[in-house]
Amino acid sequence: MKISWKTILLWILPVLVIGFFLWQGAFTGGTSNFGSNTASTRMTYGRFLEYLDGGRVTSVDLYEGGRTAIVEAFDPELNRSQRLRVDLPGNSPELVAKLRSANINLDSHPIRNTGAIWGFLGNLIFPVLLIAALFFLFRRSSNMPGGPGQAMNFGKSRARFQMEATTGIMFDDVAGIDEAKEELQEVVTFLKQPERFTAVGARIPKGVLLVGPPGTGKTLLAKAIAGEAEVPFFSISGSEFVEMFVGVGASRVRDLFKKAKENAPCLIFIDEIDAVGRQRGAGIGGGNDEREQTLNQLLTEMDGFEGNTGIIIIAATNRSDVLDSALMRPGRFDRQVMVDAPDIKGRLGILDVHARNKKIATEVSLEAIARRTPGFTGADLANLLNEAAILTARRRKEAITMLEIDDAVDRVIAGMEGTPLIDSKSKRLIAYHEIGHAIVGTLLKDHDPVQKVTLIPRGQAQGLTWFTPNEEQGLITRAQLLARIAGAMGGRAAEEEIFGYDEVTTGAGGDLQQVTDMARQMVTRFGMSTLGPVSLESQTGEVFLGNGLMNRSEYSEEVAVRIDDQVRELAELGHNMARKIIQEQRIVIDRLVDLLIERETINGEEFRQIVAEYAEVPEKEQFVPQL
Rounded Cα–Cα distance for residues 589 and 594 (Å): 9
Catalytic residue among 272, 404, 434, 497: 434
Rounded Cα–Cα distance for residues 572 and 343 (Å): 35
Cα–Cα distances in Å, from 297 out to 15, 201, 262, 292? 53, 29, 19, 9
Q: Sign of the CA dihedral 536, 542, 546, 548?
A: positive
Rounded Cα–Cα distance for residues 455 and 592 (Å): 12
Cα Rg of the chain (Å, integer): 45
Catalytic residue check, 434 = yes
Task: Please confirm whether the linkage preceding 110 is cis (ω < 30° from 0).
Answer: no
Rounded Cα–Cα distance for residues 535 and 523 (Å): 8
Single-letter amino acid code for the residue at 94:
E
Rounded Cα–Cα distance for residues 342 and 625 (Å): 13
Q: What DSSP letter does each residue of 411-474 carry, written as one string?
A: HHHH-SB-PPPPSSHHHHHHHHHHHHHHHHHHH-TTSPPEEEEE-S-BTTBSSEEEE---TT--
Could you tell me if 439 and 592 are in contact, meaning their C-beta atoms sit under 8 angstroms apart? Answer: yes
Could you tell me if 277 and 298 are in contact, meaning their C-beta atoms sit under 8 angstroms apart? Answer: yes
Q: What are phi and psi of 268, to 5 degrees?
A: -115, 125
Could you tell me if 53 and 99 are in contact, meaning their C-beta atoms sit under 8 angstroms apart? Answer: no
Nearest to 311 by CA among 351, 366, 268: 268
CA torsion angle 187 188 189 195 (round to 10): 80
Residue ranges of alpha helices (H) inside 193-340 are: 195-198, 218-229, 248-262, 289-302, 325-328
β-partners of residue 466 are 452
497 CB contacts (<8 Å, ≥6 apart)? Answer: 579, 582, 583, 586
Rounded Cα–Cα distance for residues 491 and 505 (Å): 10
Q: Sign of the CA dihedral 82, 83, 88, 94?
A: positive
Could you tell me if 441 and 447 are in contact, meaning their C-beta atoms sit under 8 angstroms apart? Answer: yes
Rounded Cα–Cα distance for residues 589 and 592 (Å): 5
β-partners of residue 603 are 452
- Burial class of residue 286 in the structure, from the number of CB atoms within 10 Å of its CB (0-12 exposed, 13-18 middle, 19+ buried): exposed
- Burial class of residue 128 in the structure, from the number of CB atoms within 10 Å of its CB (0-12 exposed, 13-18 middle, 19+ buried): exposed
Task: Write out the catalytic residue numbers.
Answer: 434
